[in-house]
Amino acid sequence: MPPLNTYQLDHRYREFWDRFKIHCKRNALSLHPTTEFPFKAENKNDHQISVSLTMPIYFQRWRKFGGKVDSDLIDIILYGDETVDTDTNEVILSGITVEYYDVPISKKAGNKVEAKAWERIRYDFKAPARFAHPVFHAQISSTPCVPGFLQKNSAIQWTVGAKGNQPRLSNIKIPTAYMNVISIIANICADHSPPPVFEKLRQSLLKNRHKVPVARTEELREHPLSKPKQCWEGLAWYVDEAPQMAATATAISA
């Protein structure tokens, strides 16, 4: 496969981003940035391109519990970067953070409110894998992100309160699926949007996922599970809706 360049990578992420934005618009889900393209592909060196989020993706006032009609609301931000090795067009490094916030509604227009951080999860991957590090893992911490970085997305009109949740043991590395940007977005939508909305998105993401590069996993290459390789992506860990729904329907009728 010929090496990808920054323009080609940019286009691949753009196609995925456009589809996701359309999906959110059609389902009245508030997603920021609204006009800017948040990804930027830049040459790191002759063999590597980094694709980073220049501003956080902001899921504004989504359901805290996706399946609950009268759910409380939650604000989620996502940022980070991936590095693609252009010799093989595979991702060799990725670090993507998701933060969950409780943002109170301001009573006075223009007043900045203080948000409380629920969770902060960082999904990591590095090739070659390191000893005692699961190839794909997540680390949870309670440290909120620097407010200055948050403000890069102009839709974020709040500051992070000093009072976070309980301190977390952030060196625990929880083995996970391969959580690239697409998989993390699928994860957020699965947990925080109505189930039929998620199902439509999942179908659309599955059709488009081959466009963005996937992780190199030398250690896992010969592993039976790694064929097809995309099974490592977290997105693939969600099953089809139909059998589950059918099972539920049978259980109810019985």
Output 36 or 240, the one with its CB closest to another protein.
Answer: 36
Output 7 or 131, the one with its CB closest to another protein.
Answer: 7
Output 13 or 125, the one with its CB closest to another protein.
Answer: 13
**Binding residue (CB under 8 A) for another protein from 154, 170, 203, 248:** 154
Judged by CB under 8 A, does residue 6 bind another protein?
A: yes
Judged by CB under 8 A, does residue 210 bind another protein?
A: no
Structure tokens at 42: 């830049």
Shortest distance, position 73 Cβ to another protein, whole Å: 20
Indicate left, alpha or beta for 205 from its phi (over 0: left) and psi (-120 to 50: alpha).
alpha
Shortest distance, position 232 Cβ to another protein, whole Å: 27
Output 54 or 159, the one with its CB closest to another protein.
Answer: 54
Give the count of residues interacting with another protein (CB under 8 A).
25
Judged by CB under 8 A, does residue 112 bind another protein?
A: no
**Binding residue (CB under 8 A) for another protein from 129, 155, 206, 236:** 155
Phi, psi of 230 (to 5 degrees): -70, -5
Segment 11 to 70, residues that bind another protein, using CB under 8 A: 11, 14-15, 18-19, 21-22, 25-26, 32-37, 43, 54
Shortest distance, position 26 Cβ to another protein, whole Å: 7
Structure tokens at 17: 């981003």
Residue pair 59/31 in contact (Cβ under 8 Å)? The answer is yes
Shortest distance, position 33 Cβ to another protein, whole Å: 6
**Contact residues for another protein (CB under 8 A)?**
5-8, 10-11, 14-15, 18-19, 21-22, 25-26, 32-37, 43, 54, 153-155
